[in-house]
Amino acid sequence: MILSDSSQALVLHFGEMGSRWGFNRTVGQILALLTIHPEPLNADQLAQALHISRGNVSMGLKELQAWRLIERQHQPGDRKEYFTPAGSIWDMARVVFEERRKRELDPTLTLLRQQLLETPQTHNETQTQEKMQEIYDLLEQLNTFANALHDMNPERLKTLMSMGSGVSKVLNFGAKKKVS
Amino acid sequence: MILSDSSQALVLHFGEMGSRWGFNRTVGQILALLTIHPEPLNADQLAQALHISRGNVSMGLKELQAWRLIERQHQPGDRKEYFTPAGSIWDMARVVFEERRKRELDPTLTLLRQQLLETPQTHNETQTQEKMQEIYDLLEQLNTFANALHDMNPERLKTLMSMGSGVSKVLNFGAKKKVS
DNA sequence: TAATACTTTCAGAAATTTCTGAAAGTATTA
DNA sequence: TAATACTTTCAGAAATTTCTGAAAGTATTA
């Protein structure tokens, strides 16, 4: 397995971006390679192509399966396990989006909800709670919005995204309609 | 400077979440403390309250200023520099959102644009380019959408978010309108 | 100008994350 | 059942990130 310059560049880049997107370098590289490679790949092929140890590949694949981004496949007559992306690019984006929503918003919402149940004992604590309420309201609304996006079917989502700046206009109309 | 249990909990939590949101533990803690504390704080107060070194506070403050999340202030008759959040909670969310869009999408869009300019030499490379085009289209649309959100004024954004699941309905209307 | 009161920098230490590769585990074939 | 062909686990090594605190830098006051 030898990668073209172009594939190589993409794989390395996804490795670097991995940590920004929620996984580590190796996981990013494995995901990129499985995504652009037309055929399913096995763990040995991945280790060889990416120059990483067999054990590391195993851990990376485990994580990508936990994210539900890749799937195991068996090739007839071959005892090895092969892997492919679990869906289209759009499906993968939705999975990453939802997982990140969970990791980045849910824990904080839970904490704030707890803190807001406490009865403030001093003037200072009252002020603190007011700030927390503000943060809570913001995150709660972000969360609702993210869920609304996530619950759309891919087609509608695609349409929405492709509207680009037209979104603002449409939303404005919607808002007025809602208010009136 | 002694923190209430409630403030303490929030500060520690923001420290833990920091890395998910794009900064490190200390930076997260400093931001949380400045946000919920009603008065501006100086570097010594932050170091003491968070039990971290003075140098670390200095680096954290520098980073938060680079993000434009906090501002320096001077108290009359005091030589120390004091810090407060640079805007409302909503302003801060917008800044973080935009910064993350830049860091998480722009570099990949740039790379893909470059790769797509190359002329594929083999059948394999053609297939790879097709995949890259798919990824590019998705990220490009995500990017346009993120920009549309970002360019809205906070009021409209707030209205939109508060519509919750109603968003889907309104967007659907918009989509139909666009298509017809 | 010198002394004072602050802030910033940065080399190395500490903490954390990632990775390797040998050993253990599992499933298939002979 | 034993041998073979794979996969997973995990202790410790390597790499990376974060943090400390002393030294250097800067601005204000005497």
Does residue B175 lie within any of the structural domains? Answer: no
CA–C1' distance A176–C17 (Å)?
Answer: 50
Quote the pLDDT of residue A150: 87
Q: What would the mean pLDDT of B164-180 be, rounded to a whole number?
A: 53
Number of domains in chain B: 2
Q: Are residues A116 and A77 in the same domain?
A: no
Nucleic strand C within 7 A of Cβ A12: no
Contact partners, residue A102, CB within 8 Å, separation at least 6: none
Quote the pLDDT of residue B179: 41
CA–C1' distance A1–C26 (Å)?
Answer: 27
Tell me what the pLDDT averaged over chain A comes to: 89
Q: Are residues A94 and A69 in the same domain?
A: no
Nucleic strand C within 7 A of Cβ A54: yes
A118: left (phi over 0), alpha (psi -120 to 50) or beta: beta
Q: Are residues A74 and A111 in the same domain?
A: no
The alpha helices in chain A, defined as continuous H runs, are 5-21, 25-36, 43-50, 54-66, 89-104, 106-117, 123-151, 154-162, 166-179
Q: Are residues A79 and A122 in the same domain?
A: no
Q: Are residues B26 and B80 in the same domain?
A: yes
Best A1, A2, A6, A94 member to test B by mutation, with max B CBs in 10 Å, is A6
Q: Are residues A142 and A124 in the same domain?
A: yes
End-of-domain residue from the set B53, B86, B119? B86
Q: Are residues B103 and B147 in the same domain?
A: yes
For chain B, percent of residues with pLDDT exceeding 90: 76
For strand C, give the nucleotides within 7 A of a protein CB: 5-10, 17-22, 28-29
Q: Are residues B98 and B148 in the same domain?
A: yes
Domain of residue B144 covers 90-165
* Degrees to nearest 5, angle at CA B167 with B164 and B168: 120
Does residue B170 lie within any of the structural domains? Answer: no
Nucleic strand C within 7 A of Cβ A59: yes
End-of-domain residue from the set B86, B109, B141? B86
Q: How confident is the model at residue A128 (pLDDT cuts 50, 70, 90)?
A: very high
| Surface-to-core class of residue B2, CB atoms within 10 Å of its CB (0-12 exposed, 13-18 middle, 19+ buried) | exposed
For residue B104, pLDDT over 60 is answered with yes
Q: Are residues A117 and A47 in the same domain?
A: no
Q: How confident is the model at residue A136 (pLDDT cuts 50, 70, 90)?
A: very high
Does residue A153 lie within any of the structural domains? Answer: yes
Does residue B172 lie within any of the structural domains? Answer: no
Quote the pLDDT of residue A106: 96
Interchain pair B174, A168: CB under 8 A: no
For strand D, give the nucleotides within 7 A of a protein CB: 5-10, 17-22, 28-29
Quote the pLDDT of residue A166: 64
Q: Which residue has the tokens 């509207």?
A: A163
Q: Are residues B65 and B101 in the same domain?
A: no
For the stretch A102-121, pLDDT in tens is: 999 999 999 999 999 999 99
Quote the pLDDT of residue A175: 46
Q: Are residues B28 and B56 in the same domain?
A: yes
Q: Are residues B82 and B10 in the same domain?
A: yes
CATH number at residue A53: 1.10.10.10
Q: In terms of Cα–Cα distance, which of A176, A141, A59 is closest to B161?
A: A141
Does residue A135 lie within any of the structural domains? Answer: yes
Does residue B72 lie within any of the structural domains? Answer: yes
For the stretch A18-66, pLDDT in tens is: 989 989 999 999 999 999 999 999 999 999 999 999 999 999 999 999 9
Does residue B178 lie within any of the structural domains? Answer: no
For the stretch B148-159, pLDDT in tens is: 888 877 777 777
